[in-house]
Amino acid sequence: MNHISTSKKIIITVIFIAIFYAAFISYSNLEKIVDIYQKMNYLYLIPIISIFIFSIFLRSNIQKILLEQIGIKLSIKENMLLFFAGLSMIITPGGSGQMIKSYLLKEKYDCPIMKSLPLVFFERFYDLLGICIVILATLIFIFSIESLVIVSVLIIILSVLVLIIKNQNFSQKIYSKLKKIKFLSNLLPDDSTFQESMLIMSNRSTVLKASISIIFITLLDGVLIYFGFLALDVDIGYLKSIQIYYTSLLLGVLSFVPGGVGVMEGSFTFLLSKENLVLPLIISIVIFVRLTTIWLATGLGVIFSYVFSKKNSENNLE
């Protein structure tokens, strides 16, 4: 893995994000946004951070379950460090940068990259599945054409992916075509390690356990989002809050823009504008919610990724 190239990409992405947020804030009234944050109820940060930490622990447990299915057993500490290392790359398109976990497993535990690579796919799959189910549940009580369209598109995509995984012949055909693509030919081996791991991780018991867990986690994260609204003295209800947030999040994922930056914020702002909120308040909510979700996760991921890499380097020296 080219660390220099990866570092450059991360720096460019961070600069892009910083420029976007500067423009995003300047679009509204900076003084009013500052005033809103000064009046914010910061006591909500206590339950928000608590829920965030608990959610991270639960998500890391899904990672542990999936890895154990393919014979990779990590301690709770090792599993958490690996999970946080993956979070450092969550701002990549579709979260694809989390494949760094396969590289780290190869370096530290000599696990073949193609054996653990399906882990990233299934983690993202379950994340999207949980969001889709939660949005569908909110539509029973609060109808939104935007949410319905977006979740319908995602359900179709996820259904196609399931068919590809379960149909070995079809999966083999797709795999063969991918091998013909020049830049992928060297990355995809001729053995069936990747496909075997995909089938193992998709067994009924694992799917059921992971699906139930991710739905609970998604609803729990929804409480965090709702508290973010309440901290800024905005109460549009728990269901409406998570429906708007998760719909915007799915749009960001579909855009394949790093971290969904721009697309997620734009759709979040648009949907909140329908609630008759003033623009400075809307932008304050969007920024605060993003800071306490993806950006907090990314920041902690970068820190723990450094710790993981440093520890690995020290062990190699010994």
pLDDT at 230 over 50: yes
CB 296 within 8 A of CB 52: yes
Question: What Rg do the C-alpha atoms of the chain give, in angstroms?
Answer: 20
pLDDT: which is higher, 41 or 5: 41
Report, as an integer, the average pLDDT of 286-302.
88
Q: Is residue 280 part of a domain?
A: yes
Structure confidence at residue 312 as a pLDDT band (50, 70, 90): low
Tell the residue number behind the tokens 């067994």, with chain if given.
203
| 26 inside domain | no
* 145 found inside a domain: yes
Model pTM score: 0.86
> Cα torsion at 286, 55, 126, 108 (round to 10°)?
110
Q: Which of 9, 90, 12, 120 is nearest to 305 (CA)?
A: 90
Asked if the structure places residue 14 within a domain, the reply is: no
Tokens of 102: 């396969």
Give 2's pLDDT tier (boundaries 50, 70, 90): very low
In a domain, 6, yes or no: no
DSSP state letter for 274: T
Q: Among candidates 285, 258, 253, which has minimal Cα distance to 272? A: 285
Containing structural domain, residue 252: 35-310
What pLDDT, in 10s, does the model give residues 47-85?
A: 999 999 999 999 999 999 999 988 888 888 888 888 888
Residue 150 lies in a domain: yes
What is the pLDDT averaged over residues 153-158? 92
Contact 211, 126 (CB under 8 A): yes
If one compares 306 and 109, the residue with the highest pLDDT of the two is 109
Helices 45-69, 76-87: crossing angle, 10 deg rounding:
110
CA-to-CA dists, residue 53 to 56, 57, 289, angstroms: 5, 6, 15
Cα 4 versus chain centre, distance: 24
Q: What pLDDT, in 10s, does the model give residues 3-29?
A: 445 555 666 666 777 787 777 777 777
Share of the chain above pLDDT 90, in %: 42
pLDDT digits (tens, 9 = 90+) for 85-119: 888 777 666 555 677 788 888 887 788 777 888 88
Of the listed ranges 157-161, 166-170, 246-250, 278-282, the one predicted with least confidence? 166-170
Helices (H), the chain: 3-26, 30-38, 45-69, 76-87, 100-109, 113-116, 118-141, 145-166, 168-180, 182-185, 193-201, 204-231, 238-255, 263-273, 279-290, 296-317
Mean pLDDT of the chain: 83
Amino acid at 238: Y
In a domain, 317, yes or no: no
- Distance of alpha carbon 94 from its chain centroid, rounded? 8
- Identify the pLDDT of residue 177: 63
pLDDT value at 201 more than 60: yes
Q: Considering the domain boundaries, does residue 262 fall inside one?
A: yes
Q: Comparing 7 with 223, which gets the higher pLDDT? A: 223
Is 81:300 a contact under the CB 8 Å cutoff?
Answer: no
**Percent of the chain surpassing pLDDT 70:** 81
**Predicted confidence (pLDDT) at residue 166 exceeds the cutoff of 80:** no
Domain count for the chain, please give it.
Answer: 1
